[in-house]
Amino acid sequence: MNASSPPPGDDFATLPLSPALLANLQRLGYVRMTPIQAASLPLALAGTDLIAQAKTGSGKTAAFALPLLAGLDAKRFVVQSMVLCPTRELAEQVTQELRRLARAEDNVKVLTLCGGATMRPQVASLAHGAHVVVGTPGRILDHLVRETLSLDALRILVLDEADRMLDMGFAEEIAGVIARCPRQRQTLLFSATYPPGVIKLAQRYLRNPQQVTIDERHAPGKIRQRFYEVREDERLRAVALLLDHYRPERTLAFCNTKQRCSELAALLQAQGIVALELHGDLEQRDRDQVLVQFANRSCSVLVATDVAARGLDIAGLEAVINVDVTPDAEVHTHRVGRTGRADEAGWAFSLASRNEMDRVGRIDRMQGSDSAWHALSELTPSPDPEPLRPPMVTLQILGGRKDKIRPGDVLGALTKDLGYRADQIGKISVGEFSTYVAVDRGIARDAARALNAGKVKGRTVKVRRL
Ligand code: ADP
Ligand code: MG
């Protein structure tokens, strides 16, 4: 495996892509390649097997989506490429990105195949033909075994978030799927980290791969890390102090255990902070609801374990709080990487008790620098008398895709029919049976009442405030 030389340039136009694809990229506001795209696209487009490693939010999806679309023959209704992902959420995100990028091409059919959904509609869609399938290893293997999916024409196989797929115990399913792929193919492996399991995976299934690594650990600068020493009995209260002092709009708080998550969420909620807990026992629907609220800026704090947060595409947060120090320095880097957007700095706070100091030592060694220590006594309540509040409130409309509701219908009802300004309306997410719309906190109550009395898409609807 060779490490590649630095990227030659970051202009998409230097790539062998069709004018239509290039024009679409521009429409999407993709002006320059991100570093991982600049490093991997020329190689992937040339047909090389690839191991690409870069942190979450660095644009890895387009780094494999573009080669996959560039080589596609839309006239042949057979599966020509396949993306394996660790979770349904990630598979859906990849599908969406593929569809956005494919808008330039005529009628590229992308199909998501994940567990948790019934087989029958998936089988029917497969029978209709698809160019690209995206899914989780277990469900895809299921289809292969039942022969409802054929990979005879597969040209490109992508393993996305390979580290997480292994963490989640998918090694055997991945092996089963790859055993049913044609030998003659291009394999692209993407990962945020590069642990031994991923190296083994690459050695087994990739052919003369090139390796590209964008190590942003040495250029974070944007992330300001602070450590606070705490006693066990003040740890949870310290989180509230941090929130009140720094007042980040959105914070992801990592705990080492589920128990700690519940305690923290309860404490914050008791202080009137909009905090939601993400844990493994949630039903998929509740999990989606939590994520929608965090993404649309109507939840201030998401409290999660590493396992629950795995596979979430949330980056660019104002703050990450390590409520406990993780024993794994690599996990720490991963947690902290969720903060700091392209243009703005983010905060990463860590609370450490005396007996977590050896863990902090490991983190220091990995980051190649000493931690910056601060005292809890520096944390003063904000002069703002208002409690920390998210800017938006989520309204849930009972009715979704099944009722043919589209985002435009909801926006129309709120702006055209009810007279709200477009800038008072935030993200609109249409789910299977429910639609979630974020609205300015100031209009939430009125808007819920007005929607309940009015109509969406010509029908009366039930609306409630989450
Ligand atoms: P990763 O898979 O590395 O976590 P994603 O592929 O999900 O990252 O990309 C993160 C975000 O960056 C997405 O919202 C994507 O649309 C956006 N993005 C990707 N490439 C570019 C680009 N070249 N220019 C602008 N935005 C981009
Ligand atoms: Mg990704």
Residue 320 belongs to domain with CATH number: 3.40.50.300
Together in a domain, 249 and 127: no
Query: pLDDT band at 343, cuts 50/70/90?
Result: low
- For 364, phi and psi rounded to 5 degrees? -55, -45
What CATH number corresponds to the domain at position 407? 3.30.70.330
> Are residues 362 and 276 part of one domain?
yes
If one compares 400 and 9, the residue with the highest pLDDT of the two is 400
Q: Say which DSSP state 160 is in.
A: T
Q: How far is the CA of 132 from the centre of ligand 1 (A)?
A: 20
Strand partners, 16: none
- Count the domains in the chain: 3
CA of 58 to the centre of ligand 1 (A): 6
The answer to whether residues 65 and 207 belong to one domain is yes
* Domain end residue (candidates: 192, 213, 234): 213
pLDDT at 218 exceeding the cut of 80: no
* pLDDT on residue 37: 95
Q: Are residues 366 and 227 in the same domain?
A: yes
pLDDT given for residue 219 in this prediction: 45
Number of C-alpha atoms within 13 angstroms, CB side, residue 27?
Answer: 11
Compute the residue count for the chain.
466
Q: What's the 157 CA to ligand 1 centre distance in angstroms?
A: 20
Instruction: Write the CA distances from 246 to 213, 324, 388, 443, integer angstroms.
Output: 34, 19, 10, 26
Residue scoring higher pLDDT (436 or 380): 436
pLDDT value of position 166: 92
Ligand 1 pocket check for 59: Cβ under 6 Å = yes
Whole-number percent of the chain with pLDDT over 70 = 95
Q: Which of 31-45, 212-226, 374-388 has the highest mean pLDDT?
A: 31-45
Domain boundary among 182, 213, 244: 213
Report the atom number in ligand 1 closest to the C-alpha of 58: 3
pLDDT exceeds cutoff 80 at 408:
yes
Tell if the pTM clears 0.75, that is, is over it: no
Cβ contact 166:204 at 8 Å:
no
Question: Ligand 1 pocket check: which of 31, 58, 160, 338 to mutate, most ligand atoms within 8 Å of Cβ?
Answer: 58
Q: Are residues 366 and 402 in the same domain?
A: no
CA-to-CA distance for 448 and 454, rounded, in angstroms? 10
Residue 96 belongs to domain spanning: 12-213
Answer whether residue 221 shows pLDDT above 70: no
